[in-house]
Amino acid sequence: MSILPSLRFIYPELVLVGFALAAMMGATFVKRQSLIGFGALIGVVLGIFLLPVSFEAGPAILSSMLSHDSFSIFFRTVILLIAGLIVLLSIGDKEGNREDIGEYYFFLLTVTVAMMIAVSANNLMMIYIAVETISIISYIMAGFLKRNVISSEAGMKYFLFGALSTGVMLYGISLLFGLFGTLSLPGMMQATLTNSVNPAALTLSVILVIVGLGFKCSLVPFHMWTPDVYEGAPTPVSALLSVGPKAVGFALFIRIFVENIVPLNFPWVNLATVMAIVTMTVGNISALKQNNIKRLLAFSTIAQAGYIFIGLTVGTAAGTKATLFYLFVYTLMNVGAFAAVISISNSLKSEAIEHYAGLYKKEPFTAIALAISLLSLAGLPPLSGFLAKFFVLAAAVDAKLVFLAVIAVINSVIALYYYIRVVKFMFLHQPTGDFSTSRSVALTIALTVTAFGNIILGVWPHPILNWLTSLSPL
């Protein structure tokens, strides 16, 4: 069977591959490194424009290995949005002015393609291949500052933890194949109509798969790599790791568990509830004592993963919708925070929170943008983070998981302390050092888009909510 008719449905991925190769080769001839970055940005924007064309796809393509529905279109759009913002951060990062800039953008666009394939995958083998591709490229990018010992250490730690988790996940996939006789997710559901499944074997295989996906989402206890890797990796890469693989992980949680395993009467709610509570609590308590802004944001992402996981714990359409909305606004919140960190680091050459003292008096735009992102992460109205938390908590209450909602509220109060602490340094303390006021156009665009996105979606979320309602799994 020819795959040529299916190629038109993956035009965005094909375009990104072409621009990735062009970035690597073009760096040999182009002297201005920012031009390579803007070329990559053009590729991402073109991919976004091509998505409506691929939306005309059927339910399955490439021998049913990929699913082409509105659900995959949503996540592909989110991933392209992430890629565009990360390119802007990379252009504005002074640390990113290096000789191997072509390789950097090659890996960035390639990992974007892998993430887009992963969220469209409809087969466990395709899921594994895509996830492993994401992992390998992520290891390389985390240790991309080869002359920096901390960056090299980050890449090694990420590799060691990642290799273990993906190996465990592959073993779980092999067990699922043995149980169902197929690697197709719809085929697994069909197999249950004619064959009984051993509950103990199903539980073991599912837990092994959760290990791999939990690693991508930084869920406790698979989070140990997160603070060290975020601190050592180039800051744009830290921003990418904080949102991209998380989006992939939660998309696969929905594909595999909410759509397929939950109907098999797997005891999902109890396990997911414990993971959500522990993840929120560990992330927030660990963030309280952090003095490095990147480590603080690392533990913050762990806590945010716990909040996002609440929607999947519920296992209802409302819970899934709340999770998807949270993921969308979380992208704006977290990337906005990292964009501000890059802008400040370009001036201060420091990531210590106390060095942010008096930032508002020297860099008011950056300070306000960072404050908006942090307060949105804290869940304060009228910012988008408030609505994101409200929707997941409402879904939990509707599903009679009141205890889980109460724990989430308590954790939100704890988190407020370390977010407000950074804001306090910026606005209420006197400056302790010199700030340069140079900020690139790329960073200005990224800060503006994320800040206004957080505000607008906080007061007018209806376009995103209406879009989510139309998604096929909901």
Nearest Cα neighbor of 233 from 92, 38, 99, 96 is 96
Which residues lie closer than 8 Å to 241 by C-beta, 6 or more apart? Answer: 138, 142, 229, 230, 233
pLDDT at 82 over 60: yes
142, 230 contact by CB (below 8 A): no
Calculate the CA dihedral of residues 380, 273, 214, 204 and round it to 10 degrees.
-170
Residue 282's pLDDT band (cuts 50, 70, 90) = very high
Proportion of the chain above pLDDT 90, given as a percent: 25
pLDDT of residue 352: 81
pLDDT of residue 1: 45
pLDDT at 451 over 50: yes
pLDDT in tens, 290-339: 888 889 999 999 999 999 989 888 877 888 888 899 999 999 999 999 99
Mean pLDDT to the nearest integer, 245-252:
90
Mean pLDDT to the nearest integer, 53-65:
62
pLDDT at 70 over 90: no
pLDDT at 57 over 60: no
Nearest Cα neighbor of 389 from 415, 418, 354, 364 is 415
Determine the residue type at 182. Answer: T
Calculate the CA dihedral of residues 170, 172, 173, 175 and round it to 10 degrees.
130
The burial of 431, by beta-carbon neighbours within 10 Å (0-12 exposed, 13-18 middle, 19 or more buried), is given as: middle
Q: Where are the domains of the chain?
A: 8-266, 267-474
Calculate the CA dihedral of residues 410, 416, 421, 424 and round it to 10 degrees.
-140
Residue 432's φ and ψ, nearest 5 degrees, are: -115, -5
Rounded to two decimals, the pTM is: 0.91
pLDDT in tens, 395-439: 888 888 888 889 999 999 999 999 999 999 888 877 776 666 567
Mean pLDDT to the nearest integer, 245-273:
76
pLDDT of residue 221: 84
pLDDT at 110 over 80: yes
Mean pLDDT to the nearest integer, 373-388:
90
Mean pLDDT to the nearest integer, 381-395:
90
Residue 143's φ and ψ, nearest 5 degrees, are: -100, 30
3-state secondary structure of 430: coil
pLDDT at 192 over 70: no
Alpha-helical runs (H) found in 254-383 = 268-287, 293-314, 317-348, 359-362, 364-378
pLDDT at 265 over 90: no
Nearest Cα neighbor of 180 from 128, 125, 228, 111 is 125
Residues 355 and 121: their CA atoms lie apart, in Å, by 45
pLDDT of residue 115: 93
Calculate the CA dihedral of residues 371, 458, 320, 254 and round it to 10 degrees.
-40
3-state secondary structure of 448: helix
Nearest Cα neighbor of 323 from 306, 333, 310, 304 is 310
